[in-house]
Amino acid sequence: MTTKPIDLKKLRVYPLARRKSQARLTDVLVDLTQPPPPCSPHTKRNLQDCARRIREARQAGASVILMFGAHLVKNGGATVVTALLDGGWVTHLATNGAGAIHDWEFAHAGCSTEKVAENVAAGCFGTWRETGRNLHLALLAGGLTGLGFGAALGEFIEHDGVELADREKLARDLRRDPAHPLSGARADLLCAMIEHRLRAGRHTVRHPWKNNSIFAQACRRRIPLTVHPGIGYDIISNHPMFNGAAIGRAAALDFRLLGGSVERLDGGVVLSVGSAIMAPQVFEKSLSCVNNLRLKAGRAIVKNHRIFVVDLQQSGGWDWRKGEPPKDNPAYYQRYCKSFSRMGGEMIYTRCDNTVFLRHLLRELQQLAG
């Protein structure tokens, strides 16, 4: 084998302030005092059904899981998600790595998003010093206390930084008990501190817009927010501090936490909003794991759950109430519909903008609450 891996530690990174960010939080943040744009009668019926199902789920103590893609964050949906949390309507949040990155950049800098084609050609796409550094700081430090990706980042934003352990103590702990469950996290943090000259003690990172951070709001309310990234999917890979082990360790815990919410999904609701890949792929594995454990214990599988899928794409012209389309039908290859239609519960697809759907859903829920 003659191909050699590139050395990411040699990457040149640039200050986030140098980037020409395409979105400002103050421009995109949804104003809940204003009425949402109108929606179609079909969408209205699905919204009313969704609101009723959520209310029934919460009355029964069942999970309501909101899985969302990064565009909900980029479109200023933090205010809507926070209002859903405040109403007690949502019990678990889940997003991808990009959702975490955009949320952190908005909370810290008040802006996010870049010109991808232009910056890839210039070799600077994603190579932003603060983004890669601070998300890794959150994950490396969170690993020492057993936090998953979402909780570690939420704590980092809410508390404006993190405390890094003493190097000598990390080394002593590794020598004393190398088989300890936290040894991997200790070793990763120690190596990062040495390689990147990180001092022990408090690392303060201000987040002036934390009140509009989904991660910080979930942290305040102790609502689980899990992150389900891919290695090499997100711009924090484009950084000398890139650590796949730290990302994977945090994401592995979050996958298990999602399973804990799926365990309580009987009679519950899953909302997949603007997530074409992460939500269907992660949910199907989580549901299978939960059913596996239930059957092993002599229990029934998860049942009576409803899945509401929201995206801007057409549904392939297929009526999903008829079941799965044949393989020669283009609709068969729409992952977000096909995967969720296989998950045991009823799947309802709605073509709608993500923030518009959630704003209307919030109003429907508030009206039901009286």
Amino acid identity, position 258: L
Domain total for the chain?
A: 1
Does residue 194 lie in a domain region? no
Does residue 191 lie in a domain region? no
Please say whether the beta carbons of 318 and 331 come within 8 A. yes
Q: What is the pLDDT confidence band of residue 258, given thresholds at 50, 70 and 90?
A: very high
Query: Which token pair is 39?
Result: 């929606």
Does residue 50 lie in a domain region? yes
Dihedral sign (CA 303, 305, 310, 314): positive
Average confidence (pLDDT) over 137-146: 96
CA nearest to 227, candidates 301, 157, 164:
157
Gap between the Cα atoms of 362 and 369, Å rounded: 11
Does residue 189 lie in a domain region? no
Does residue 6 lie in a domain region? no
Residue 253 host element (H or E): helix 244-262
Q: What domain range includes position 57?
A: 15-26+38-165+200-369
Does residue 192 lie in a domain region? no
Residue 267 host element (H or E): none
- The DSSP code sequence of 269-307 is EEEEES-SSHHHHHHHHHHHHHHHHHHHTT-PPP-S-EE
What pLDDT, on a 0 to 100 scale, did the predictor assign at position 316? 66
Read off φ and ψ for residue 338, nearest 5 degrees. -60, -50
Report pLDDT digits (tens) over 303-339: 999 999 999 887 667 787 778 888 888 878 888 888 9
Q: What is the pLDDT confidence band of residue 25, given thresholds at 50, 70 and 90?
A: very high
Does residue 4 lie in a domain region? no
Query: Which token pair is 273?
Result: 């909003």
What pLDDT, on a 0 to 100 scale, did the predictor assign at position 313? 81
Which CATH number is 274's domain given? Answer: 3.40.50.10690
What pLDDT, on a 0 to 100 scale, did the predictor assign at position 135? 98
Q: Which residue has the higher pLDDT, 328 or 244?
A: 244
Contacts for 221 with CB less than 8 Å, ≥ 6 apart: 85, 86
Q: What is the pLDDT confidence band of residue 1, given thresholds at 50, 70 and 90?
A: low
Report pLDDT digits (tens) over 56-80: 999 999 999 999 999 999 999 999 9
Does residue 190 lie in a domain region? no
